[in-house]
Structure 1
């Protein structure tokens, strides 16, 4: 009798825990790089204990590398959702023709229309994205008031963005928050500020991936292989959907529905339509396939992914060294840079995080220094460090804060890294408050052997033959209107 009661109690407790886990699961935290900043901000590793900044240490410079805020789907993806709308109608009609009951089909599918139907453009920063960066600017000023007490000058507070509208708009939203109340424009006492950027064709600091020919070749060859890698998992989930809802879903349907789920959850706060088609374990698996793609094409899966970002790391180091020089030589306030603020894309933030050695699995830091590829993140339900929702959500950012600490009448310098505003240990320091010389020696210098031109220059087995005048004439007449090469659905 006691055993029976014990068994019933265990069963009840298991069901209770399962029910709690289902309720606690928030899909908005599990949509990889489509995750909104507010959904994951503050979700830090509980094992990390932030360092106490010693008395006498003051911040003297900030380097910020941030992704743009939440954006609308791109034009290509809007078309995919239009196709999904038509496809769902076909699936329902097919079920009726086969005289299958539609009772198991979710009611929202019948008559569903894409929220982006009819939009001719896409990819722009939405109002939620503006708020993310605006609020970030306010919080940074509040956290580091002594760094932002100078009168604004573009050489003191440098703001850079890529020449992609959602990145430059993010920079503007951030600057409005950062400098609110310091100007004379409107009720908010806003002020004008400069946002600069390089040409898309030559921006090796923030769009190094677009200028790197070897990376573009790698990406073009690897994308089909990554798609093949994901197929068995999509097929497994597709089979479950077919049996659960009695609709003849295909692998492409599952992929499109997962994309819709991510857009609804992140942009519209809708979690009871496309996302409700999947169980939490299926969502975790789909999230992992997206994270795996991020790992292979932008992260630790190939050393080229982060080696091409070395110019950005050098730029960060240069800014710190200039700030130290200004401190040592006691330059007058307002005569030197105090913040270098950059706004770009996931393709920028992810490789930069890898250069710093963040979010690796196990003890892979030595492999990063040797610029080797790391093992892929483990499949759920195993725990993993590499999650796109944490590494590079919308508005995701890395801040490197340089501190000057007075000791025995001389200055010592330290670097603190904040990821999404939370302190995070640097693997070369085993602390989030790292001596500057150790930061240079263990984290920056091992990567400096990578020369951008050598890493990115297309390797040819034989010298390029100069084309004949006849072939040049043929090429002239065979060229299309648009010879530009761009990335598939840039983040």
Structure 2
């Protein structure tokens, strides 16, 4: 009996699968239950801002989450659903949620590092290929093993099947293959290079701005319903990972000091040694970071605190002495400020200005004619539509 592909006949892919819909829907419900006072207001897009990338899978994730978050709040269908707004920026210019797509320096770096990553992973593939050839008497190649490992991950994560492709590998071999994947993730998307996460500065700026606006609303006594209470963003592992690195997650205090000084970290240690950097924890399916701003009546100088939740659980922040809560000013100065001194355009070689010698478009000509000051002896430019 041969193996039959569960994807046989499927012509397209990349969409959010039903398990993902379910995960995001129930995540929305849990978030509302965890923060009841935060989501007590009647829905308005200015109060609960939802943005996503233009990738359909991310957009579908935001919709599934919103359906859970606002379930029972409307009059649509037996579930009491309601409509809500989800907006996005163009993929070509979304530097907040798809900064990796707009960063030419990162694209160049990633391309340059792919041979290095391949070389680092080769000994693992060589070792496991040798063992599989010896065990099964088949002429496996490294490419075969790599493909079988990919199939194992797809079957396990999407179909909950672990007794087919995955059964070819021993637990020790699975640990080695996971480490090799984690190593690639570390080098190309994590702490392996400061550009990997510093390009996420626009997102960090957005988060800090939202907190400052919330503090202003609190201090100035804005009326309920007149200010934003939650800023919800849906993107990809390529967004989540750099942001986690920007705020120093999965680091020891000594390692945090190194990245603040832009020094290189050591690679994740090879099994059987333990490591903090594990892809299945750092960026699993439906992975999420929540930064929650609290106001506390206190006699000390700190009135506002930031609590970081990773995949819904409080996580230590090395920049705040390993606590999962951090005074807002400390968070801003110790964790955010060293990164915010960097300019995205400079980091990524992005030229956001038009070339000076390029011809203006018809509408820019028209508005230039209407609003630009002119000398009395300069004839007005004729604009035809």
Per the TM alignment, residue 165 of structure 1 is displaced from its structure 2 partner at its CA by: 0.4
- Equivalent-residue separation in structure 1 for 2:23 and 2:264 (angstroms): 33
Alpha-carbon contact 2:16-2:61 (below 8 Å) kept: yes
Question: Is 1:435 aligned to residue 327 of structure 2?
Answer: yes
- Equivalent-residue separation in structure 1 for 2:209 and 2:335 (angstroms): 14
Counterpart for residue 186 of structure 1 = 77
- Equivalent-residue separation in structure 1 for 2:49 and 2:264 (angstroms): 34
Question: Is 1:213 aligned to residue 111 of structure 2?
Answer: no
Q: SS where residue 232 of structure 2 aligns?
A: strand
Out of 338, 342, 354, the position equivalent to 1:446 is 338
Per the TM alignment, residue 458 of structure 1 is displaced from its structure 2 partner at its CA by: 6.8
Alpha-carbon contact 1:361-1:386 (below 8 Å) kept: no
| Runs of 4 or more consecutive aligned structure 1 residues displaced over 4 Å after TM superposition | 408-411
Q: SS where residue 384 of structure 1 aligns?
A: coil
Per-residue displacement from partner, 1:10-64 (whole Å, max 9, x unpaired)? xxxxxxxxxxxxxxxxxxxxxxxxxxxxxxxxxxxxxxxxxxxxxxxxxxxxxxx
Question: Is 1:314 aligned to residue 183 of structure 2?
Answer: no
Out of 262, 275, 284, the position equivalent to 1:371 is 262
- Equivalent-residue separation in structure 1 for 2:341 and 2:265 (angstroms): 19
Out of 170, 195, 198, the position equivalent to 1:304 is 195
Counterpart for residue 269 of structure 1 = 160
- Equivalent-residue separation in structure 1 for 2:14 and 2:299 (angstroms): 54
- Equivalent-residue separation in structure 2 for 1:261 and 1:331 (angstroms): 53
In structure 2, the gaps of 5 or more residues are 358-385
Per-residue displacement from partner, 1:195-237 (whole Å, max 9, x unpaired)? 1110000000000000000001111121122112211110100
Is the alpha carbon distance of 1:287 and 1:409 closer, same or farther for their aligned partners in structure 2, counting shifts above 3 Å? closer
Counterpart for residue 396 of structure 1 = 287
Counterpart for residue 45 of structure 2 = 154
Alpha-carbon contact 1:306-1:354 (below 8 Å) kept: yes
Number of equivalences: 353
Q: SS where residue 399 of structure 1 aligns?
A: strand
Q: SS where residue 244 of structure 2 aligns?
A: helix
Deviates more, 1:383-392 or 1:358-367: 358-367
Q: SS where residue 118 of structure 2 aligns?
A: helix
In structure 1, the gaps of 5 or more residues are 1-109, 467-491
Where do 1:103-118 residues align within 5 Å? 110-118=1-9
Q: SS where residue 401 of structure 1 aligns?
A: strand
Alpha-carbon contact 2:251-2:318 (below 8 Å) kept: no
Is the alpha carbon distance of 1:213 and 1:409 closer, same or farther for their aligned partners in structure 2, counting shifts above 3 Å? closer
TM-score (norm 2): 0.89
Where do 1:335-350 residues align within 5 Å? 335-350=226-241
- Equivalent-residue separation in structure 1 for 2:38 and 2:331 (angstroms): 22
Out of 26, 33, 49, the position equivalent to 1:142 is 33
Counterpart for residue 49 of structure 1 = none
- Equivalent-residue separation in structure 1 for 2:108 and 2:332 (angstroms): 31
TM-score (norm 1): 0.70
